Amino acid sequence: MDSPYVMERSLGLIHGEPTNLRKLEARLEDFCELVRGEGVDETDEHAATRRYVELLADAQLLDLLVPGEHGGLNPEVSATQVCLARQWLARESGALDTAFVMQGLGSFPLVLAGAATLAKEILPRVRTGATICGFAITEPEAGSDVSNMKTTARVVGDEIQLDGMKWFISNAGIAHGYSVFAREVAAGDEGDATYSAFWVSADTPGLRVVPQRVIAPHPIGEVHFDGVRVPSSNRIGARGQGLKLALSNLDQFRPTVGAAALGLADRALTCTVEHLQNRVQFGKPLAKQQGLRFALADLVTAHTAAQLLVYRAAGAKDRGEATSQQVAMGKLFATETAQQVIDRAVQSLGGRGVTVGEVPERLYREIRALRIYEGTSEIQKLVIARELFRPPA
């Protein structure tokens, strides 16, 4: 498969001569080839995800998601490197990308605020794939408005009891543990809106999973908590810090959603160019039609701009300088642009574009959720606009 040439140029622009990133790209390229050779059957989403986690762990790619003190590759998790990984992995398979990133999204609250003993117990296992992770915040009445969550946490002796349910939880049913966010209430104080976070082992009595299905391969489901009790030591961060922690966690991974979108768009562009060169209609290749060339010129320009925004946000994140606006712009523009690029790929292939099993058809299903999860496009716009109207300091 061709290297995603546009990405290399963007990285060069942003990072100068990024030797370590080029080495990582070479590893990712080899890994994707290995995965292709495996031919994992994604119709069984659970088995496929488990296999992908194993392969990612064997290739030491999960090391990118864990800090050095727990066996990770870098002292701190690098947003730029996670972006690069997601761009390559998503280019290969959306399900592979999900298997990778959920190890980070589900465990990063422990990096940010987990007690030392809990982090020491779980994070090395995340790296080896022995613990598959989930991140549970969304509920039927708490989607974009996460503060409306109803799941409760109560201190009962030296334990915490969780009651309620979450839905649209990636890895539900295969995760060994979840970072769970709940409204912490004291006895007789049901209205209290103090949010807290907890690590919950999937085998805890009272935890039950009901599968859901979305349009592309993605293990996902509802997670019900009926009197689930965990030790107090499973609390992540201080009481009342849960929402802040959830938002920091999402902020860390949001640029990487943009990067996954770039990977899907890279694949679509490669596929479109190849098809237009080979498909002859009216006596010449479709690539000779100026109308089609202009459409692609616009899209590849937007795609390059999307890469600049995503890697600008990731670079700023790694330097501790990122603003929420930069991060939101990267996610918004990359996911919306990828949707357009992929739609053009479908259109360019004509009937083949919507044929089950063709690459554009798969990409068309894979891209859709990225404009929804980890903050919808509309929520990104709220964040971007908020900065415009912030009163001067």
Ligand X SMILES: Cc1cc2nc3c(=O)[nH]c(=O)nc-3n(C[C@H](O)[C@H](O)[C@H](O)COP(=O)(O)OP(=O)(O)OC[C@H]3O[C@@H](n4cnc5c(N)ncnc54)[C@H](O)[C@@H]3O)c2cc1C
Q: Kindly indicate which of the ranges 148-156, 224-232, 350-358, 370-378 contains the residues binding ligand X, using the contact rule CB under 6 A.
A: 370-378
- Regarding 372 and contact with ligand X (CB under 6 A), the answer is yes
Residues paired with residue 228 on neighbouring β-strands, in sequence order: 162
State which of positions 134-163 bind ligand X (CB under 6 A). Answer: 135-138, 143-144
Q: Which of 220, 345, 363, 383 binds ligand X (CB under 6 A)?
A: 220
Stretch of 64-72, 89-97, 131-139, 306-314 contacting ligand X, by CB under 6 A: 131-139
DSSP output for 59-107: TT-GGGGS-GGGT-SSSS--HHHHHHHHHHHHHH-HHHHHHHHHHHHHH
CB of 178 to ligand X, least distance (A): 9
What are the CA-CA distances from residue 379 to residues 52, 328, 384, 386, 390 (Å)? 31, 9, 9, 10, 16
The single residue among 165, 214, 308, 384 that binds ligand X, judged by CB under 6 A, is: 214
Q: State the residue number with the nearest CB to ligand X.
A: 143
User: What is the identity of the amino acid at 291?
Assistant: G
Are 116 and 126 in contact, with CB atoms under 8 Å apart? Answer: no
- Pattern of binders to ligand X over 253-282, x per CB under 6 A? ------------------------------
168/311 with CB nearer ligand X? 168
Which residue in 44, 38, 27, 100 sits closest to 260, CA to CA? 100
Binding flag, residue 226, ligand X (CB under 6 A)? no
Q: What region does 240 belong to: left with phi over 0, alpha with psi -120 to 50, or beta?
A: left
Q: Check binding of 369 to ligand X (CB under 6 A).
A: yes
Give me the least distance between CB of 371 and ligand X, in Å please. 9
d(CA 204, CA 207): 6
Cα dihedral: 310, 103, 234, 206 (round 10): 120
At closest approach, how far in Å is the CB of 373 from ligand X?
4
Residue 374: active-site member: yes
- Residue 217 or 315: the one with the smaller Cβ distance to ligand X is 217
The one catalytic residue in 76, 139, 374, 378 is: 374
In angstroms, the CA 236 to CA 136 distance is 13
Q: Which residues of the shown chain bind ligand X in the complex (CB under 6 A)? A: 135-138, 143-144, 168-170, 214, 218, 220, 369, 372-374, 376, 378-379
